[in-house]
Amino acid sequence: MATSTTRVANCSRALCAMLDEWQIMNRLFGVLDMWKASRDLITRISTERSAGKPIKKLDIGIQASQILCLTSFHVSEAIGFLSSKGILKRSAESEERLTFLAIRSWAAFTMIEIGRLSLEWMNTMRDKEKLATKTWKAKWKSDMLQNLAWASVATHWKSPIINSTDLIVLLSLLLGAIAYLSNGKLRKLFFPKPTTSEESTASKEDSLRSISHICNNTGKNCIIFYGSQTGTAENYAQKLAREASSRYGLDPMVADLEEYDYNDLSELSEQVVLMFVLATYGEGEPTDNAQDFYTYITGGEDGEQPDVDLQNVKYVAFGLGNSTYEHYNAMVRRVSKALDGLGAKNLAGVGEADDAAGTTEEDFLAWKQDMWPKLVQEFGLKERDVAYESTFGVLERDDLDASSPGVFLGEANAKHLDTSSANRQFSNTNPYIASITESREVFTSKDRNCIHMEIDLGDSGLSYETGDHVAIWPTNSEDQVTQLLNILGLSEKKDTVISIVSREATAKSPVPTPTTYATALRYYLEIAGPVSREFINVIAAFAPTDAAKAEAAKLGSDKVYFHEKISQKCLSLARVLSTLSGDQPWTKLPFSAIVEGLSKLQLRYYSISSSSHVQPSTVSITAAVESAEIQGRPDVFKGVATNYLLSLKQAQNQESQPRKYQLNGPREKYTGFKAPIHLRKSNFKLPKDSSRPVIMIGPGTGVAPFRGFVQERAALKKEGKSVAKSLLLFGCRRRDEDYLYESEWREHKNTLGDSFDIHVAFSRETKQKVYVQHLIKTHAEEVMDLIDNGAIVYVCGDAKHMARDVNSTLISIWADQRSISIESAAEKVKGLRDSARYQEDIW
């Protein structure tokens, strides 16, 4: 033991002697260090002054303080070194003071640096994107650990109090403590280990999310970002990509905003163009997949935009909105403003589509017509006339059949295909297969239907709040599927398995693959939706007759003619093809064109008509079945989702089913009356304080969420809670036809007493039609008194007419009741909106 100790001590003394010989080099590097730091400081000050930039006094002060500390340290060290060599004569006491001055100087330098890094961290806490960047975090931690590690090692310990052995022991203890506290990171700092496969995978995933990295490595020069809630914006993004490639020779990529990083946009080449196709959701909000991007680029609620320079970024933008909403196309407007504020260049203004006017497709075509020539000029593109070029290839699979386990037969995703794994995270991309516990008709009219349905959340783990929405994943009717298969000449191949293969690495098929022809049309594509004029242009080349080709070309080029013959009649694709060809099959039309030309089958959202306080594990919906006769259309127009729900209700109640659906679902998974659903949060909520009054305005099925509201307040009343006045203004046609939940309102009146009133406008029972806005005028004094007492106004239903009329009427009665101008009353109503006391759930 003694021998080992002596050996360690001798080694330690030899190490210290060797360190002494290094002091000459240490002194030389110290002088160079001070000279470089001083030069950098002077250069920085002169550069900022010449550029007219304000000098950052705090940064300059920190840098100057560190230079002073380094100077003090190296001067003390140099004097101590010369004394140790006998060149300078110093007393032991003065040498000790000088040594501790060197230690304190280095400690002060280190503490200032650690303080600077800490300040940088705190400032970055407000920048979530930068904080989430692994590169920045790694650099910050490396700087911090280097300061901790080298603070003691770099100091020249030369004191009569501390000998060489003590020095080695102290240094070992200090480094050991730092290594322990750094959780192994110190060892990685000095001895970096080889990159593991997991780390390599993470790094690869980061690069796959980086737009600039993708562009640099793949040659992509047109990135089309989309923000989509229902799939419409995504569909338009795909259309832009196809045209960018085939007509203008660009190399495009369609990008879901939530799947890529956008904090490196400043690194993009100026030869890259960004395209944004952005839908506005709700009250001027971004769609779910665009939320993070919106917060980053605009600064969100704080309004603090990222500190980036986007002068090299060139972009165009198109928005999808509805002019009946107050915040019409707010998303694309705000994003464009934010991009411009960061220096980005908008090449073609901002295009806006108005769903309220029914002109979304024409607005898109008009925007493109103006946008493309500007991109041609900016990037020197050459327009070319080209035939149809498919983004996807459709391969028929002889090695698979419809019974093969890996074939999609209507499943939403691979999680539903693999029944062996747990599937618990339900969302707008992964539905829960819910049981329909009850369904009934709530209209008494012979020619109109309205379905009340109870949906059991079971063991899904899903929860909701009163006022939220539920999404139904519908199925296309069998007659629509059969019609389209027949006109495409695919009836005999309906169960043939196909693989849809992307010809572009970044293009995603809207249809899960492999699947069958019939399945793609039944579960995945919007085959009953409107056909676009642009799509007619695409398919014209594949017409079975010259006459059909000529007619298709005319429809594609003449928007007035197209509106008259196709769009105003709401004709489906099958009906359009049959009309053009006289029922002759379009056997030359590739199925890939159908996949690309039709939108994905969209989810349908419904206001939940129950209270989570009363029935937390079951949600109710109230849905009017869409069915209308349209002039010039040979058959009755039927809504997709509501007629699917009607068929479910008819089957559950053992009624006749004129319209057939595959109600048992893929592989019989919906047997027992089930349907795929998911829940969506809403801001349309009762006040948490039940002693606050509410005014509810909702005609027809717009009363759905208010059923839940009144249910909840009645339950709270029974529990002994204080409940304020709830005023419901409801409208329908006739008392004996469509007075929804009449008996329930009577029961709630008995429970709530004076705390609840309902006034009903029956529009067809008198010569003069009466609507909910007339009820507002009739009960103007009561409405205004409730508003004066803090009431929240809720409006649910039709956005195009009813919601606007209610807003105008409220302004009118405010002016009359309070004797103020219309302009002042409009400001009062706007104040209600701004303070969340005027809420809308409209469509």
Residue 731: strand, helix, or coil: strand
**What's the mean pLDDT when you consider all of the chain?**
85
Determine the pLDDT at residue 186.
46
List, by residue number, the catalytic residues: 607, 796, 841, 843
CB 633 within 8 A of CB 570: yes
What's the pLDDT score for residue 2? 46
DSSP-derived secondary structure for 601-670: PPPEEEEB-S-TTT-TTEEEEEEEPPEE--TT-SS-EE-HHHHHHHHHHHHHTT---SS---TT-GGGTT
Given a cut of 60, is residue 564 above it in pLDDT? Answer: yes
Report the pLDDT averaged over residues 182-195: 47
Strands, E assignment, 339-490? 345-354, 392-396, 432-441, 450-456, 469-472
Q: What is the pLDDT of residue 261?
A: 87
CB 433 within 8 A of CB 540: no
Task: Give every CB contact of residue 657 below 8 A, 6+ residues apart in sequence.
Answer: 647, 650, 651
Q: Strands, E, within 504-615: which ranges?
A: 515-516, 604-607
Domain with CATH 3.40.50.80 in the chain: 694-842
Where do we find the tokens 């009466």? 770
Select the more confidently predicted residue: 156 or 761. Answer: 761
Does 227 belong to an annotated binding site?
Answer: no
Report how far residue 842's alpha carbon sits from residue 797's, in angstroms, rounded to the nearest whole number. 5
Q: Which residues of 288-303 are buried (b: 16+ CB within 10 A; e: fewer)?
A: bbbbbbbebbbeeeee
Annotation-wise, does 157 bind a ligand?
no
Asked if the model's pLDDT at residue 130 lies above 50, the reply is: no
pLDDT cut 70: percent of the chain above it:
80
What percentage of the chain has pLDDT greater than the value 90?
61
Residue 516 near residue 496 (C-beta atoms within 8 A): yes
CA distance 389 to 391: 7
Start-to-end CA span in the chain (Å) = 87
Per residue in 633-676, pLDDT (tens digit) is 888 999 999 999 999 999 999 999 888 999 999 999 999 999 99
Q: Does 843 belong to an annotated binding site?
A: yes
- Per the CB < 8 A criterion, the answer to whether 758 and 731 are in contact is no
622 marked among binding-site residues: yes
Q: Which DSSP string do the residues of 363-382 spell out, in sequence order?
A: HHHHHHHHHHHHHHHHHT--
Establish whether 607 is an annotated binding residue: yes
3-class SS of residue 343: coil
Least confident of 157-166, 248-257, 347-356, 520-529: 157-166
- Three-class DSSP category at 726: strand
324 among annotated binding-site residues: yes
Q: Is the pLDDT of residue 17 over 50?
A: no
Distance (Å, whole) CA 430 – CA 423: 9
What's the CA gap between 504 and 253, in Å, rounded? 8
Look at residues 788, 763, 790, 767 and name the one whose alpha carbon lies nearest to residue 775: 763
Report the side by side order of strands in the sheet with 618-624: 604-607, 469-472, 674-680, 432-441, 450-456, 618-624
618 annotated as ligand-binding? no
135 annotated binding-site participant: no
**Residue 66 has what pLDDT?**
74
Residue 325, annotated as binding a ligand: yes
Among the four given CATH numbers 3.40.50.2000, 3.40.50.360, 3.40.50.620, 3.50.50.60, the one describing domain 207-379: 3.40.50.360
Nearest 5°: the CA angle 644, 648, 652 is 170
Is 329 annotated as ligand-binding?
yes
Q: Is the pLDDT of residue 230 over 90?
A: no
Establish whether 287 is an annotated binding residue: no
Name residue, tokens 């790694």. 138
- Kindly give the interhelix angle for 232-246 and 360-379, rounded to the nearest 10 degrees: 40
pLDDT one-digit tens code per residue, 262-303: 888 999 999 999 999 999 987 788 998 999 999 999 987 777
pTM for the complete prediction?
0.73
Q: Which CATH number fits domain 694-842: 3.40.50.80, 3.40.50.2300, 3.30.1490.100, 3.40.50.300?
A: 3.40.50.80
Cα separation, 255 vs 506, whole angstroms: 8
CB-based contact 602:699 (threshold 8 Å) = no
Which amino acid, one-letter code, is at 362? E
772 appears as a binding residue in the annotation: yes
Contact criterion met (CB below 8 Å) for 415 and 431: no
Interval 59-65 mean pLDDT = 75
pLDDT of 834 above 70: yes
In the chain, how many H helices and how many E strands? 30, 22
Q: How far apart are CA 460 and CA 75, in angstroms?
A: 72
Span(s) in the chain for CATH 3.40.50.360: 207-379
What is d(CA 6, CA 598) in angstroms, rounded to the nearest whole number?
85
Q: How far is 407 from 497, CA to CA, in rounded Å?
A: 8
Return the minimum-mean-pLDDT range out of 128-142, 288-302, 598-612, 647-661: 128-142
- List of long-range contacts for 158-167, beta carbons under 8 Å, 24+ apart: 158/80, 158/81, 158/84, 158/95, 158/99, 159/95, 159/96, 159/99, 159/100, 160/92, 160/95, 160/96, 161/96, 164/12, 164/13, 164/15, 164/16, 165/9, 165/12, 165/13, 167/16
